[in-house]
Structure 1
């Protein structure tokens, strides 16, 4: 009988379609359906290829996110349930695991030692017997204010807390911001900071920012950046800063980089989580009403791994990278953030086969790392090709945006030949709003090649958005100076004296087209020396 059954099963798998076989080889097992804080959840099973796992907690926030590698057709992962209530609330957790097109779902519960958990956090919410949700009230005098600085108290569950009265006291003595100073090592421990949401209204009414500082970084948050809604008396803001290179952060970076070998991490990350906590519910706030400023301090080891002009800050979400920029000074990266999750400092060492040994190689490599210039394809930059007026305006405005010095005013497109929807339309409109480019009787002529004198005029106009120091060079003595248009002559002289253009000073060739190599060097001279 067993031989007959085995033969039938073998025949079934031989005749089954490939997709059905792939689904059958994906299996998932858990070691328990109920766990206590501090215990381990063990996942195992069969899969061909990586398994993506996401666990959502009872508060509807992401509890765990990972990509588990399979070996020999099987996989295994151990997840430790945190001991802290903030990170592992009681209740039902929903797990989804995907492998290719197949997805499996499981649930488990985090309970107390008796196998129970608060019913108000269970699936469906509440048990109908009148148990009140947990109190989120923070003592009004929690924390100590010294001037505008606040030292938070530490609650029994490990959360740092600050009360409303303490906020009010600090805000009354603050200049531009109230600063909460977290203890050393808190940035790598992942401890939460919690304070009443109404404290943001106090700061907003006094036009003050909130600065959260740890030993390895700070986050400066305008009060209006976090939408707390009509926050009640016991609604809190919970913020978690973590600069540790956790498994989640590693997986997010690896998933975002994929197979692109041009990117290289140095282990410097910051993960920021902001939640609005009311009763037993925590709602994550991802998008911010106003950009915040983040400063991430590098360790000595991380600083040694940085390659000048190639590093930048990237938002990573596990599937793609979003270049943020960032400025480095004295071992600290400063960058703006419009939304929160995980940010990493990565090097982008893009190389083009036609730039090896070229006189503009370093300039192109540096600007490519800042995503100011790109190749014509993945392998080629084509340094000797001419550049159009649209391409030049786009590169120039990327450099202005990278420098973060210009608040570009909203304005209507002044040109009749720059249609909406073109890749360069926004950059050209912004450049015109800032007075960097002008047209010809209402036309911009985007597809025309840009001449050296046209490029230099725009370059000099853009230079006011950069911190340039004149090298003290005298006026140029170009033999073809009379060929320079009258409207460009002053700009050419200024570009020479400030070092934006160089050479032997004998010929300027004002009507000659600018090449892609030349424009990279020109724009590169706008940027601070040794900038990252």
Structure 2
């Protein structure tokens, strides 16, 4: 066993990881002996042990419950094992391990929680060019950095990474202590030096390196893909598309403008010709926003760098543009930063405080109030409280609030659940201090609340009217949070609260808040309506920033008259969660496919459908549901089947649907608790699959699902459109996403 320990020391000296002792054992023929796994500490909820094979067929896995410390697996005798890992359905990682420590054919896992990454792998980036490996002739080192969905390098833990190409490609299995020797693992297994098609490894400090057979450092002909568990995190073809779109990317200038002479708004592309997505950051958002809006400075020219992030399926590159924004010819009335910095009175929890305030004018001519919050005053105001409210009384359509990160970090250290609510005329934004815990202390967080200009708001109203809805607020509102040159668009799955004040009464069953995408389309967002006297307010819970408004609709379907699900379906239709099969019919008793329900689940949680193809072999990028299924897979709602398929067009069963819902509850952080004994009331409870029993019990306890009768659960029965709508409505009410 000494050879295994020595190998890890050797890898550390080389500063990269080659493998997980992956690929070091393979059946020599015949049916191999079972492998036993000894696990310390025991598996937690949803955690399973997997065997990875070189050909990318679905891994063998253990169907066991929490608390398991010992289990046995029989590998496929016709395949080559290249690794073992643990996964909770979202995050996949490699614990510390030893072979044959307790018995032949045994693997001992340890430090499960210590080696688990903080979040699932989302994408990988090749680090420089491949390098010739001087020790193993004919092989090159290919190193990747692995990132989570928040864009953070997964420096802690040991994220499992599986590299896959085609059957002709060869990966080297490096173990200098026992090259060409039999591993003392047990009968039926032999170490091999190389393996074709695929190889498994894990990250060290966020990096992972594979040795791939190639006589040159140009591996462009190798169709390399990376996976972590079931997450698709890198594709060489996507990397080529990113490189091409980066080279072609240009900013659009107004007539007479150049990079050295910017006086008007810029056009910043959001998609590339090769299907990439493009997002932007600005070194000075107050001069050039991330949408290209330009606010010319009043005192002198400003040098600003806007940087494009070109992204596609696990690959991205940045392209900076250095620009000079010319000083304004003359300050408009009330425009530009004030020559003085007057002190005005702002209220924190109702108490007056002196705060620095400046006045500006936005690129589209709207008045801006900028408030700079004093760090000490904010810290003192919080004390031991979970919530403080910063009230700003003015009529300006745009309010910017600068908050020193140092103050928020200090507050978070003593009270990680603290929330700073910024309240302006007709709107508010609640900033959880936890979402900024990884920012540098010298940064400044800026929360901007913008009522859209008359023209932009008219466009939003027109969209609502076109779909038969009425806008319930005076103006749609754009909420943004920035720090330094970064705009925060993703809150690590946390649903951040903001409010809008309504200008009219509303029927809560027919009303909803919506977010408006860059194409002007409206989407449901979780929202609760409340009334206090004559005033009505909607509280929005969203995991991303955007433009928001509130609407009321009156959608009905002719084929729902007298149907048991009429109220539920019409409620969700008016909230833009479900659609009819035609403008006037819903087909409530028709069955619903797995792809259709996945799309509804993504919509019901207010998630943005991210572009990109999921890793399922039967889902193409051109499929109408590809983005929704990919988003659901990334969020952990779906995992597909053992053969690598999703079966999108298959009808979904009630037990499949309830498992997806339970995973959605876990994603939001409001998982229901229950014992599977609650299922005993159903005469057919034994027909509920083992993988669905826990989810079914939890959903039953939360009143999200009911039996088809008092004594029948009907787990294998295909769900109908009406049943899916009813379950989604109960789920959303349980999450407090609707009234």
TM-score interval, normalised by the smaller of the two chains: 0.5 to 0.7
Q: Distance in 2 between matches of 1:61 and 1:412?
A: 33
Counterpart in the other structure of 2:423 = 213
Question: Shift of residue 353 of structure 1?
Answer: 2.5
Q: Could you say what secondary structure the match of 1:346 adopts?
A: strand
Of 622, 625, 629 in structure 2, the residue corresponding to residue 424 of structure 1 is: 625
Counterpart in the other structure of 1:139 = 341
Question: Shift of residue 527 of structure 1?
Answer: 1.5
Q: Could you say what secondary structure the match of 2:548 adopts?
A: strand
Q: Could you say what secondary structure the match of 2:662 adopts?
A: helix
Counterpart in the other structure of 1:377 = 582
Of 260, 264, 267 in structure 1, the residue corresponding to residue 467 of structure 2 is: 260
CA contact (8 A) 2:511 2:574 kept: yes
Higher relative contact order (CA 8 A, sep 6+): 1
Pairing 1:524–2:729 present? yes
Q: Could you say what secondary structure the match of 2:728 adopts?
A: helix
Cα separation, partners in 2 of 1:182 and 1:248, compared to 1, 3 Å? farther
Alignment of 1:115-264 (within 5 A): 121-122=328-329, 136-139=338-341, 150-152=353-355, 162=371, 167-170=374-377, 173=380, 181-184=390-393, 186=394, 189-190=395-396, 193=399, 212-214=422-424, 216-220=426-430, 241-242=450-451, 248=455, 251-261=458-468, 263-264=469-470
Of 643, 648, 664 in structure 2, the residue corresponding to residue 441 of structure 1 is: 643
Identify unmatched segments of 5+ residues in structure 1: 1-57, 63-86, 91-118, 126-132, 226-236, 277-284
Cα separation, partners in 2 of 1:192 and 1:510, compared to 1, 3 Å? closer
Q: Could you say what secondary structure the match of 1:296 adopts?
A: strand
Question: Shift of residue 311 of structure 1?
Answer: 1.7
Pairing 1:462–2:646 present? no
Cα separation, partners in 2 of 1:242 and 1:509, compared to 1, 3 Å? closer
Counterpart in the other structure of 1:114 = none
CA contact (8 A) 2:481 2:487 kept: no
Identify unmatched segments of 5+ residues in structure 2: 1-261, 267-294, 299-325, 361-366, 413-418, 437-445, 531-536
Cα separation, partners in 2 of 1:240 and 1:334, compared to 1, 3 Å? closer
Of 458, 478, 482 in structure 1, the residue corresponding to residue 682 of structure 2 is: 478
Counterpart in the other structure of 1:308 = 509
My pick for the range that moved more, 320-329 or 464-473, is 464-473
List per-residue Cα deviations over 1:411-442 (Å, max 9, x = no partner): 99443222334233344344445264441332
Question: Shift of residue 325 of structure 1?
Answer: 0.9
Cα separation, partners in 2 of 1:172 and 1:518, compared to 1, 3 Å? closer
Counterpart in the other structure of 2:231 = none
Of 525, 528, 533 in structure 2, the residue corresponding to residue 328 of structure 1 is: 528
Cα separation, partners in 2 of 1:206 and 1:411, compared to 1, 3 Å? farther
Question: Shift of residue 452 of structure 1?
Answer: 2.6
Cα separation, partners in 2 of 1:445 and 1:323, compared to 1, 3 Å? closer
Pairing 1:298–2:501 present? yes
Cα separation, partners in 2 of 1:275 and 1:443, compared to 1, 3 Å? closer
CA contact (8 A) 1:355 1:361 kept: yes
List per-residue Cα deviations over 1:224-250 (Å, max 9, x = no partner): 99xxxxxxxxxxx8967559xx96576
Cα separation, partners in 2 of 1:144 and 1:516, compared to 1, 3 Å? closer
Question: Shift of residue 59 of structure 1?
Answer: 7.5
CA contact (8 A) 2:614 2:630 kept: yes
Q: Distance in 1 between matches of 2:541 and 2:648?
A: 32
Pairing 1:343–2:548 present? yes
Question: Shift of residue 461 of structure 1?
Answer: 3.7
Counterpart in the other structure of 2:63 = none
Cα separation, partners in 2 of 1:413 and 1:121, compared to 1, 3 Å? closer
Q: Could you say what secondary structure the match of 1:219 adopts?
A: strand
Question: Shift of residue 161 of structure 1?
Answer: 5.6
Counterpart in the other structure of 2:713 = 508
Counterpart in the other structure of 2:163 = none
CA contact (8 A) 1:146 1:170 kept: no
Q: Distance in 2 between matches of 1:121 and 1:507?
A: 73
Counterpart in the other structure of 2:655 = 453
Q: Distance in 2 between matches of 1:384 and 1:492?
A: 22
RMSD of Structure 2 on Structure 1 (CA): 5.4
Cα separation, partners in 2 of 1:141 and 1:393, compared to 1, 3 Å? same
Q: Distance in 1 between matches of 2:697 and 2:642?
A: 23
Bigger fraction of residues in helix: 1
CA contact (8 A) 1:152 1:182 kept: no
Question: Shift of residue 307 of structure 1?
Answer: 2.6
Cα separation, partners in 2 of 1:315 and 1:120, compared to 1, 3 Å? same
Question: Shift of residue 364 of structure 1?
Answer: 1.6
Counterpart in the other structure of 2:564 = 359
CA contact (8 A) 2:526 2:540 kept: yes
Q: Distance in 2 between matches of 1:431 and 1:316?
A: 19
